[in-house]
Amino acid sequence: MSAGARAARGAPKASGAAGAQASKPPYDVQRQRADFPILSTKVHGKPLVYLDNAATTQKPRQVIDAVRRYYEAQNANVHRGVHLLSEQATSAYEGARAKVARFVGAGQAEEIVFTRGATEAINLAANAFGAGRLGKGDEVLVSEMEHHSNIVPWQLVAQRAGAKLKVIPVTDDGELDLGGLERLIGPRTRMVAIGHVSNALGTVNPVKHIVKAAHAKSVPVLVDGAQAVPHAKVDVRGIGADFYAASGHKMYGPTGIGFLYGKREHLEAMPPWQGGGDMIRSVSFEGTTYNDVPFKFEAGTPHIEGGIGLGAAVDYLTGIGMDNIAAHEHEILAYATEQVEALDGIRIIGTARHKAAVLSFTVEGVHPHDVGSLLDRDGIAIRTGHHCAQPLMERYGVPATNRASFGLYNTRDEVDALVAGLGRIGELFR
């Protein structure tokens, strides 16, 4: 087995994972695939091979049915109605919040703020929490592998305050260079914002270690968990994060919904970020009294069906077992890494020891966009581009990469289809 494949196989779970789950039935990928209607689709007359899960995951019938049930039988606004439909919708929506809290190990449901996704969650934390901590000359520590969503919000609040970003570098194999972490977290560091799993490399970062180092200097930490939550059991209290952000659409739920976990003491102290209905207790022209957490951060009519669908996605993942999902995906990643590495003219970008289900690579002499277009003709969906990680692409001296990212329903046969497609592309451009 190649070094890259051994590295892919060597990471059974994301950092901060909780203890082993209750025993689950043996993993049956074909049974899981049957839950996803879109996987029977044909693209250009070929069976769909969907390998773009880091961008968004497909939705199981259980999630689709939950959203449909809401519209067919429960459609009403939440929190403010006394009629039956409103009470039913509120119960389903708030029940979903409780499910998310249990799923990520939050201490209480009130520590989960529903947002449009991880991007809005990070913006909320940056503006309602981070901005108040920053002054001229202060620093926010991020890493070189961050998604733009965990760079730009901090740049915006830092620019307004006269602060700046400080960057943890990335090694050639795609790991954070944490040598001298205590020095990087300096006397002017006011916030650390770090990705749990890199969307462009698949690297699983040692977030628990980073949080501990930051807390030793009284610096709070936000963890971007958008790419971690779908792949392994996450325990936010075990990690110790002050904030943890994730997106529903990357964890088999609807688009337009996500969440921010925040420690209760932080959420209580933070001012609202947006104003409107439901985030208030009372309003007058002289002043406003704000609602309790988490509602003071959820202005306006929420994405009700999205929250309910997210709750159904949590049920679905819990039913399979995150340990089972992690083991299956790492087996697929190890196989894919070994097979793709064996092809001529392939350069794999990101060979960290601990990886989640992402394989990024370049094909010698072929632009990634051409690779993606040619694979699409065979029904194979991958992502090409900079993956909202332009500083990282610059670090590796490439404008873009090809990214195959795996989910709970992907198979070895689909990896074989990808490898065969890449082989044909190599012959075409040789």
Q: What phi, psi does 167 have (nearest 5°)?
A: -120, 130
User: Would you state the pLDDT for residue 182?
Assistant: 84
pLDDT tens by residue, 43-101: 999 999 999 999 999 999 999 999 999 999 999 999 988 999 999 999 999 999 999 99
User: Would you state the pLDDT for residue 8?
Assistant: 43
Q: What is the 3-state secondary structure (H, E, C) of the chain?
A: CCHHHHHHHCCCCCCCCCCCCCCCCCCCHHHHHCCCHHHHCEECCEECEECECCCCCCCCHHHHHHHHHHHHHHCCCCCCCCCHHHHHHHHHHHHHHHHHHHHHCCCCHHHEEEECCHHHHHHHHHHHHHHHHCCCCCEEEEECCCCHHHCHHHHHHHHHHCCEEEEECECCCCCECCCCHHHHCCCCEEEEEEECECCCCCEECCHHHHHHHHHCCCCCEEEECCCCCCCCCCCHHHHCCCEEEEEHHHHCCCCCCEEEEECHHHHHHCCCCCCCCCCEEEEECCEEEECCCCHHHCCCCCCHHHHHHHHHHHHHHHHHCHHHHHHHHHHHHHHHHHHHHCCCCEEEECCCCCECCEEEEEECCECHHHHHHHHHHCCEECEEECCCCHHHHHHHCCCCEEEEECCCCCCHHHHHHHHHHHHHHHHHHC
pLDDT tens by residue, 232-278: 999 999 999 999 999 999 999 999 999 999 999 999 999 999 998 88
List the catalytic residue out of 388, 391, 395, 424: 388
64-318 has the same fold as 3-60+321-429: no
Choosing among 3.40.640.10, 3.40.1360.10, 2.10.77.10, 2.40.50.660, the CATH entry for 64-318 is 3.40.640.10
pLDDT at 27 over 60: yes
pLDDT at 5 over 80: no
Question: Other C-beta atoms within 10 Å of 108: how many?
Answer: 11
pLDDT at 17 over 60: no
Task: Tell me whether residue 62 is one of the annotated catalytic residues.
Answer: no
Average pLDDT of the segment spanning 174-198: 95
User: Would you state the pLDDT for residue 180?
Assistant: 83
Q: Which of 9-23, 47-61, 369-383, 411-425 has the lowest mean pLDDT?
A: 9-23
Rounded to the nearest 5 degrees, what angle is found at the Cα of 82, between the Cα atoms of 91 and 296? Answer: 65
Residues 343, 348: Cα–Cα separation, whole Å = 11
**What per-residue string of b and e applies to 194-211 under the rule 16 or more CB within 10 Å gives b?**
bbbbbbbbbbbbbbbbbb
Choosing among 3.90.1150.10, 3.40.640.10, 1.20.120.160, 3.20.20.30, the CATH entry for 3-60+321-429 is 3.90.1150.10
Q: Is the pTM of this model over 0.85?
A: yes
Centroid of chain to Cα 27: 23
* Residue 197 β-bridge partners: 204
Radius of gyration of the chain (CA): 22
**Nearest alpha carbon to residue 175 among 301, 349, 425:** 349
The contacts of residue 301 (CB under 8 Å, 6+ apart) are: 77, 78, 277, 278
pLDDT tens by residue, 271-316: 999 998 888 888 889 898 888 899 999 999 999 999 999 999 999 9
Do 356 and 227 contact (CB within 8 A), yes or no? yes
Average pLDDT of the segment spanning 175-194: 94
Rounded to the nearest 5 degrees, what angle is found at the Cα of 64, between the Cα atoms of 197 and 150? Answer: 25
Residues 6, 383: Cα–Cα separation, whole Å = 24
**CA dihedral for 428, 357, 252, 31, sign (positive or negative):** positive
Residues 126, 273: Cα–Cα separation, whole Å = 10
Q: Where are the domains of the chain?
A: 3-60+321-429, 64-318
- Written as six digits, the tokens of 82 are 């006394």
End-to-end CA distance of the chain: 27
For 103, 141, 147, 157, 397, the CA distances from 151, given in Å and listed in that order, are 27, 10, 7, 11, 20
